[in-house]
Amino acid sequence: MKNYDPKSIRNICLLGHVGVGKTSLAEAICHTTKATHKLGKVDNGTSIFDARPDEKDRKMTISMGVGACEWNDTKINVLDTPGFADFLGDAHAALRVVESAVIVVDAFAGPEVGTELVTRLVDEVGVPKIFFVNGMDRENVDFEKTLNAMKDAYGTSVAPLQIPLGTGQEFKGVVDLITKEAFEYKAGGDGRGRKIDIPADRVDEVEAARGALMESVAESDEDLMNKYFEAGELTDDELRKGLNKGCAEGLVFPLFCGCAPQNAGTDRFLNAIVDLCPAADTNATVDVMDGDEKKSIECSPSGQTLAFVFKTISEEHVGELNIVRVFSGELALSTEVQNVTRGSSERLGSMYVLVGKEKQDASKITMGDIGALLKLKDTHTNDTLAGKGVKHDVVKTDFGEPLVSVAIAAKSKGDQDKISMGLGKLREEDPSFTYSFHPDVRQSILSGMGDMHIEVLLAGLKNRFKVEVDRTPPKISYRETVTKPVQYVEYTHKKQTGGAGQYARVFIDLEPMERGGGYQFEDKIVGGVIDQPLRPSVDKGIRAKMTEGILAGFPIVDVRVALVDGKTHPVDSKDVAFQIAGREVFKKAFEMAAPILLEPVDDLKVTVPEEYMGDVMGDLSSRRGKISGMEPKGKYQIIGAKVPSAELQNYMPVLKSMTQGRAFYSKSFSHYDPVPYEQTQKIVEACKKAEGGEES
């Protein structure tokens, strides 16, 4: 495949609800452009995009696929993203590197939950969007009904540029409303339509639909609106220019229709991608981080090389494939670039154009283009590759905070290290999950975007790294603290068993600190009642006891301790004695100071359709949530709330059920709050019972 000028490159991503045929559309595009020799199918496992074993097994996209093709002297890079909400991280990554988003909609179902989700995401990013209504050959499809549902959901800016010739088994092609031409297609053919006459009984319908299109385009531009009112119509040239301008500015949402599995309507859609979608150099700037400062820099084909790794794929027996978008300059084979993110250098030894799982050798990747690099030493998703002297990083993709967590442990004791290694490899491909050991609860916690995400990750561990795990609900990371001060609490440690003895006597004051205060130790000894070298031993013993916890075995926080008095023995006082005395006097003082448990509280933001507001807010109240605010956003409300982490462990399925899957949420840690007395008693009792079970 030859190299293209940025003006002749179109980068698009396919988004939509799960199962609407995004991958089938990607297959149809590649086949129609002759990038592939046959039309791949998801259902029979021949798709070049869903090539992973787990994708074939589940018959769904799990990881983004990339397909490059050529049409009308233009290179089109197609990014096929997963539709399942748990894998929306790839949609975030794709939208960082494209100029247009194609939202695929099922012809029978119309806009669904996933449609709403990705449309909001596209609007947040601000790239132009196009709708493709797929599956016109399905039974009981009503195009007019689906179109009206689209307009109800996204406004009158939804502008169909085509209408179908028949639906269901009668579907045979489309009518282009700009050229007023009809095209019919052979099912499963090459995607290139045969021009036919518009059926006589559809002429009036075509004229009416074309008039509606003119009106939609005219409403996006004041000059066009005036011309439309004066002349009663727009010329073909005015219509095309208005569509381009309106689409680029997000004022018109062109809508197309077809049947990707049968490769019908694909050629007309490809024409629209070339004509309507912005070129790769439309916005020749990129946001970068220069230290802590975010700024926008100019890009040019002859400028300094600046490329961004937006996806990493690990291929068995091949290695890691890093997929990059070049924002400025070019990446050339056999040259050296700097990995700005990691402060290292990389030599570009293998470079490819991707067509799904197939790779074509490339000699360079130019500005605006997308390609793949193989076997780099230490380069992964979100890394920046640049020319010498470049110090700034391309702004990283924000994958959001994971929403669902599980505790995992290897079924075989010797496999624990394999878990860390395997998940480390998986995270290089998918940074939207986290994995870490939590010493306070002594659990390894895997956190992802949903139950399906977790399931796929654990299946990857089993199938790729031969590690099986047990999964349990994660324990909550409680903390312990005190609520009142106590003074002059004494403890004497004395050990006389023959040989060297141990002796230490200490007095401390203990008081609570403000939340987040941590721990403070003050030496208030006057005179030499405790030798100076032994005083830090008291602090060391206290810190050790704080780590272990006293009330229920959780770390102790937000306390101030003052060492105020004590006594030593000329022979038996030593470091270990004062450490033990420090531990025990702190335990004694802690129990006297009205101890309580603290629980983590999350900052929760729930985006919910207005009709479900009451149910969602009532549910949050039942979870001891405190509403912190509400913000309208179109037909949605964003509810802000502070909710204890313990109350959110099963929140995702409940929220989906309550709102028919139309609400979504994000969360992040906020602060610690006291646990109510009744809950505290239950937690303490459960911890003591668990500790007893472990000891036995």
Q: What does the alpha-carbon distance between residue 9 and residue 368 come to, in Å, rounded to a whole number?
A: 7
Q: What does the alpha-carbon distance between residue 530 and residue 539 come to, in Å, rounded to a whole number?
A: 13
Q: What does the alpha-carbon distance between residue 260 and residue 41 come to, in Å, rounded to a whole number?
A: 10
412 and 493 part of one domain: no
Q: What does the alpha-carbon distance between residue 302 and residue 32 come to, in Å, rounded to a whole number?
A: 33
Q: Does any domain span residue 132?
A: yes
Asked if pLDDT for residue 526 goes beyond 80, the answer is yes
Mean pLDDT for 317-338 is 94
At residue 696, the pLDDT reads 39
Bridge partners of 314, per DSSP, are 320
Q: Residue 667 is part of a domain; what is its CATH number? A: 3.30.70.240
Q: Does any domain span residue 302?
A: yes
At residue 413, the pLDDT reads 83
Q: Does any domain span residue 319?
A: yes
Domain boundary among 340, 365, 394: 394
Domain boundary among 456, 475, 494: 475
Mean pLDDT for 448-454 is 95
Q: Residue 409 is part of a domain; what is its CATH number? A: 3.30.70.870
More confident residue, 303 or 694: 303
Asked if pLDDT for residue 341 goes beyond 90, the answer is yes
At residue 633, the pLDDT reads 81
528 pLDDT tier (thresholds 50, 70, 90): confident
Mean pLDDT for 291-314 is 94
Q: Which amino acid is at 197?
A: D
Q: Residue 247 contacts by C-beta under 8 Å, 6 or more apart in sequence?
A: 128, 130, 253, 254, 276, 277
384 and 414 part of one domain: no
389 and 428 part of one domain: no
At residue 180, the pLDDT reads 94
335 and 384 part of one domain: yes
Quote the tokens at residue 128: 């132009």
- 181 burial via Cβ count (<10 Å: 0-12, 13-18, 19+): middle
179 and 47 part of one domain: yes
Domain boundary among 354, 370, 394: 394
CB 532 within 8 A of CB 588: no
93 and 186 part of one domain: yes
pLDDT, tens digit, for every residue of 52-110? 888 989 999 999 999 999 999 999 999 999 999 999 999 999 999 999 999 999 999 99
User: In 3D, which of 175, 157, 117, 165 has the Cα closest to residue 141?
Assistant: 165
Q: Residue 45 is part of a domain; what is its CATH number? A: 3.40.50.300
Pairing mode of beta strands 344-347, 173-176: unpaired
Mean pLDDT for 113-129 is 93
At residue 694, the pLDDT reads 53
Quote the tokens at residue 7: 């003006």
Q: Does any domain span residue 399?
A: no
128 and 254 part of one domain: yes
587 pLDDT tier (thresholds 50, 70, 90): very high
pLDDT, tens digit, for every residue of 136-176? 999 999 999 999 999 999 999 999 999 999 999 999 999 99
Q: Does any domain span residue 684?
A: no
378 and 438 part of one domain: no
Q: Residue 379 is part of a domain; what is its CATH number? A: 2.40.30.10
In 383-512, beta strands by DSSP E: 384-386, 393-394, 404-410, 434-438, 443-448, 469-472, 479-482, 486-495, 502-512
163 and 48 part of one domain: yes
The residue written with tokens 């929403």 in the block is 403
270 and 293 part of one domain: no
Mean pLDDT for 674-690 is 91
User: In 3D, which of 94, 92, 114, 89 has the Cα closest to residue 104?
Assistant: 114
430 pLDDT tier (thresholds 50, 70, 90): very high
Domain assignment of residue 578, given as a range:
480-593
The proportion of the chain whose per-residue pLDDT surpasses 70, expressed as a percent, equals: 99
Q: Does any domain span residue 232?
A: no
Total number of domains constituting the chain: 5
At residue 571, the pLDDT reads 86
Q: Residue 601 contacts by C-beta under 8 Å, 6 or more apart in sequence?
A: 642, 643, 644, 645, 669, 670, 671, 672, 673
Q: Does any domain span residue 229?
A: no
Q: What does the alpha-carbon distance between residue 131 and residue 273 come to, in Å, rounded to a whole number?
A: 11
Q: Does any domain span residue 453?
A: yes
SS (H, E, C) 47-86: CCCCCCHHHHHHCCCCCCEEEEEEECCEEEEEEECCCCHH
User: In 3D, which of 590, 547, 557 has the Cα closest to residue 442?
Assistant: 547
44 and 167 part of one domain: yes
Q: Residue 526 is part of a domain; what is its CATH number? A: 3.30.230.10
pLDDT, tens digit, for every residue of 535-573? 999 999 999 999 999 999 999 999 999 999 999 998 899
Q: What does the alpha-carbon distance between residue 565 and residue 671 come to, in Å, rounded to a whole number?
A: 35
Query: DSSP assignment, residue 556?
Result: B
pLDDT, tens digit, for every residue of 40-65? 999 899 999 998 888 989 999 999 99
In 299-453, beta strands by DSSP E: 306-315, 319-328, 330-332, 336-339, 344-347, 351-355, 358-361, 364-366, 370-374, 384-386, 393-394, 404-410, 434-438, 443-448
Q: What does the alpha-carbon distance between residue 247 and residue 241 come to, in Å, rounded to a whole number?
A: 10
**3-state DSSP assignment of residue 115:** helix
pLDDT, tens digit, for every residue of 391-428? 999 999 999 889 999 999 999 988 988 999 999 999 98
CB 556 within 8 A of CB 480: yes
693 pLDDT tier (thresholds 50, 70, 90): low
460 and 573 part of one domain: no
Q: Which amino acid is at 536?
A: P
Question: Angle 651-658/613-622 helices, nearest 10 degrees?
Answer: 150
Query: DSSP assignment, residue 286?
Result: E
Mean pLDDT for 307-313 is 97
